[in-house]
Amino acid sequence: MNTSSFADTKPHYNLLDGLRGVAALSVIWYHIFEGYAFAGGNTTIGGINHGYLAVDFFFMLSGFVISYAYDDRWGSGLTVGNFFRRRLIRLHPMVLFGALLGAVTFLAQGAVTWQGTPVATTSVLLALLCACCFIPAWSGAPWEVRGNGEMFPLNGPSWSLFFEYIGNILYALLIRRLSDRALAALTLLTGAGLAYFALADPQQYGTIGVGWTLDGVNFAGGLVRMLFPFTLGMLIARRFRPVKVRGAFWICSAILVALFLVPALPTDTAVSLNGLFEVACIALLFPLLIRLGASGATTDRFSTGLCRFMGDISFPVYIIHYPFMYLFYAWMIRHGIADFARTWPAALLLFFGNILLAYVALKLYDEPLRRRLAKRFLHRPAR
């Protein structure tokens, strides 16, 4: 069984699972090249420069899949509590695994902040507890152990899951009840907010990369950054009509990677050109890719197996890879190296090692635990 389909009965879109995997693997390379920029004291990331947009693609995929899977189940046995249990069983085991990896690698790194200040073991344990309970940190919080303002300092990418959980809560309590017209209005409203963060750049990042911290405008930015693609994905699912597309997975994968590879565009203009590109990707190109991906179908054993494998590892590899990035960054800074030419063996080890670890964790931990939890909390025998 495709791991994405636990606790669900509807067939999956294999191509969308495959595209999710392509985006997740792109994030690893983005963070590798982000490390080169960070260790070299640069602000511009080379290589897969726009890989951070994979998060926005994830949010849109989530809205599409959740709307498709659950919209017609409300009132026919699906309750809010049951929905929350399903989503927690689907996501939280790997969130816990990623938090534990983050604590282990932080201690292995020497348990110091980026500034070199030692951190007490009790603070690390508090950070682990808060990460497991999804309690975000703010600058100066006792469990903000890295000193750079991350919401989840043991595993930075957990910030996107934090907003994903908010999106799931809003969906179950409110958004699912909206008519298509009301949902479209909400999408336009949140789209205007996202355009503001992309074009005006109030956070002064040069990108729309908001949401990873609670400082400044990041919480509001992260909220609209999640809500716009999430609700747009829901609209696509509600109005979806498939078209015949041959080779959809390979076409969409190539386009997606090409978008991530676009170099940084100027931001010192009246309207940020980089922001225009980001808006075009999220509002126009990602919806097109999701429509094409949902329309296509795998036609041979190789592409079917590849899409299923990519879909299976997509979430595990996303949520466990960053603790090892912290070690990679610290190693480059300590040795004064910050380029691919001198670190390519370590970069390849990071990439393929995380894929292997994600698969092992999926098969030996995530899937067995979710089966047990689903049997205990979802598939109770009728009285």
Question: Residue 90 in contact with residue 7, Cβ under 8 Å?
Answer: yes
The tens digit of pLDDT for each residue in 139-169 reads 889 999 999 999 999 999 999 999 999 999 9
Residue 149 gets the label, from left (phi > 0), alpha (psi -120 to 50) or beta, of: left
Q: How confident is the model at residue 50 (pLDDT cuts 50, 70, 90)?
A: very high
Band of the pLDDT at 267, cuts 50, 70, 90? Answer: confident
Q: What is the pLDDT of residue 301?
A: 85
Q: What pLDDT score does 3 carry?
A: 43
The residue written with tokens 């709307």 in the block is 67
8 Å CB contact between 260 and 54: yes
Q: What is the pTM of this model?
A: 0.94
Average pLDDT over residues 312-340: 94
340-358 mean pLDDT: 96
At 159, list the tokens. 């910030």
Model confidence at 7, pLDDT cuts 50, 70, 90, reads: very low
- State residue 118 phi and psi, 5-degree precision: -65, 145
* Angle, CA of 241, 242 and 246, to the nearest 5°: 160
For residue 271, what pLDDT is reported?
84
Output the pLDDT for position 6: 42
Phi, psi (deg, nearest 5) at residue 133: -95, 5
Q: Are 105 and 327 in contact (CB under 8 A)?
A: yes
